[in-house]
Structure 1
Amino acid sequence: MKKAASFYASLALSALVATGAVAETELTVYTAVEAEDLARYAETFNESYPDIKINWVRDSTGIITAKLLAERDNPQADLVWGLAATSLLLLKSEGMLEPYAPEGVEKLDAKFVDSGETPSWVGMDAWVASVCYNTVEAEKNGLTPPTSWQDLTDPMYEGHVIMPNPNSSGTGFLDVSSWLQLFGEEGGWEYMDALHNNIARYTHSGSKPCKLAAAGEIPIGISFAFRGAKSKAAGAPLEIIVPSEGVGWDMEASAIVAGTANLEAAQKVLDFSVTKAANEMYNSGYAVVAYPGVAKPVEYFPEGLLDAMIDNDFEYAANNRAAILKEWQSRYDGKSDPK
């Protein structure tokens, strides 16, 4: 009887496998990737790993970073797939990441890989600051196009500029940290004081200022270049301006959260995240990706933008993040959108 029971149990298991009914490994994955891209990311990953189900927890960079820090003693995420490298450097310094060298990581551009002996995070793509300028709305308001960050402090732009809040937006934080590097600590805050006079409001999304400019709701949105190029390709009357002083940038990256109970499955996600196929997937949303030779030319991507990328000090940005955000909030948060 025992042999018969074992035989029938084996048949039942085979049937479950054949019908795909065997329990999947489920991973809780935190991300700041644009919401519209997440289903495509999961579907592409599942083509290689159909037995791993991804449960996304998506929010803006600052909110996801704060959530991870708040959960430090009781982690809820298995891994992060798509968060600013400056945030992951902070998490690494807190001992919150599980070092892992994904299979094939050596094929990536070295600047997209954590410098530790065993990397704690691996990069995916980069996004670069720029100014989205609606030519139609600007003309209605008698504006002329800015050519530099300093130009945006001109009184003619008062009430005509929107930018992201750095406490919630990775794009906002790369703007602020880059201005502090470009103009120096004192000069950077003086610049932001002057810019604040012209700001209509601060959004909680890095792409929203450009989307609002594209829709004609504001003449000028400080955002990132790919969003501008995408909106212009869709017919928006935009110019994507590269300020002459140089532009800040950050990279999206992935990492395993230390203490995950699903380490093997999380490692498979990291393995996939560095593949050529994954980077081709990233390239549909970002012009700069980690895998050399993959990125295709992007229509309306501003000429000279890559040369304008500053020599970003990621360690400075990560180590001073809390102090920078606190100072920014104390000065400018009164114009932020409600959360």
Structure 2
Amino acid sequence: MKHLKKALALTTLAVAMNANAQTELTVYTAVEAEDLQKYAERFNEDHPDIKINWVRDSTGVVTARLLAEKQNSQADVVWGLAGTSLLLLKNEGMLVPYAPEGLEKLSPKFRDRDETPSWVGMDAWMAAICVNTIEAEKNNLPMPSSWDDLTKPVYQGHVVMPNPNSSGTGFLDVSAWLQMMGDDKGWEFMDGLHQNISRYTHSGSKPCKMAASGETTIGVSFAFRGARLKEQGAPLELVFPEEGLGWEVEATAIVDGTDKMEAAQTLVDWSITRKAMEMYNEGYAIVGMPGVAQPVKYFPENADDLIIDNDFGWAAGNREAILAEWARRYDGKSEAK
């Protein structure tokens, strides 16, 4: 009995020592909430000595929080935030340049252009329009084929899209429209679109989910979410507007000021491994390591031909002004936070 008690005591002590030996990282993210446990568990399979404490919100909120904490950073790592947001943080001197192990395996589109990058990409998502075919028929609405179609009076009250101040998907839409159409025509287009919007959501996936459930006829969202919902049986038609599609990279970076550099580098190293890329592919059709992504049913095979030549530097540099102007014009239809 004494030997059993001693063994139990030693086991308890070993567990306690292991817990105490864990390094805790505060990780800011805009990754979908339902995926956070999976991300941490897959990482901990390889690195049980590092515990992730998530701080999760929408892209705009996380970006604003990081900027507000510039002089007293609370985050160690950002894992899963829009590349334009990270470029903005880089320009503010808030990121630590670091070349993670395996960097050469990434597509050049999925890394900061500096020799020692300040951020590295995980996956990418692109815009799409989700149309509920049952509701469209019920309301006698034609199937749109372009962004401009969504400004037609027939769609009044039938369109939902994300608020770019809180949603990365919303910002990639607005940024793309301004890049494709130019400043004057871009805002003119959004004025017309606004007349048909029933509400602006604070989530990029929500408009497509609402279309899938029949809460709205048309949801401006992103392609992968629509493809997955359609595969699950939702009465959706996915439209990829002929003018072109906005897109964005989801990325990872070390925040300047962390006192846990070794653990932070370990996480960033792991974030671009093949195992991590295969995990991202469960939620995104496009990932940073070529040759990893598996085909996704209903996702366009010619995605590279559909997306615009996105100027991420321009988008990051003009982000604050764009968001302020958008809020001034359209925020009255945003849903409550």
Tell me which interval the TM-score lies in, with the shorter structure as reference length. over 0.9
Which whole-Å CA distance do the structure 1 matches of 2:183 and 2:139 have between them?
Answer: 33
- Supply the RMSD in Å over aligned alpha carbons: 1.5
Offset, 1:307: 1.2
Describe the shift of the 1:303–1:117 C-alpha distance in structure 2 as closer, same or farther (beyond 3 A): closer
Tell me the alpha carbon deviations over residues 239-258 of structure 1, each in whole angstroms, 9 at most, x when there is no partner: 11000000000010000000
User: What is residue 204 of structure 2 aligned with on the other side?
Assistant: 206
Structure 1 segment 1-339 matched on structure 2, within 5 A: 15-16=13-14, 20-339=18-337
The 3-state SS of whatever aligns with 1:200 is strand
Report the residue type matching 2:65 in the other structure: K
1:20 partner SS: helix
Contact 1:242 1:305 in 2 (8 A): no
Task: Report the Cα distance in structure 2 between the residues aligned to 1:19 and 1:232, rounded to whole angstroms.
Answer: 48
TM-score, length of structure 1 as denominator length:
0.95
Q: Deviations over 1:3-31 (max 9, x none)?
A: xxxxxxxx979952697344310011000
Which runs of 5 or more structure 1 residues have no equivalent in the other structure? Answer: 1-10
Q: Shift of the alpha carbon at 1:265?
A: 0.3
Q: Structure 2 counterpart of 1:281, which letter?
A: M
* Conserved? CA contact 1:16–1:22, under 8 Å: no
Residue 234 of structure 1 and its aligned partner are, at CA, apart by 1.0
Identify if the C-alpha distance between structure 1 residues 144 and 275 changes in structure 2 by more than 3 Å, giving closer, same or farther. same
Q: Is the 8 A contact 1:30 1:80 kept in 2?
A: yes
Q: How many residues align?
A: 329
CA distance, structure 1, for counterparts of residue 148 and residue 199 of structure 2: 18
Whether the aligned pair in 2 keeps the contact of 1:241 and 1:302 (CA below 8 Å) is no
For the Cα contact (< 8 Å) 1:60–1:170, is it kept in 2?
yes
Contact 1:240 1:302 in 2 (8 A): no
Provide the C-alpha distance between the structure 2 equivalents of 1:93 and 1:81, rounded to a whole number of angstroms: 18
Q: CA deviation at 1:116?
A: 1.1
- The CA deviation at 1:90 is 0.2
Aligned letter for 2:314? Y
CA separation in 1, counterparts of 2:100 and 2:15?
A: 28
Structure 2 segments unaligned to the other structure (5+ residues):
1-8
Q: Distance in 2 between matches of 1:171 and 1:158?
A: 22
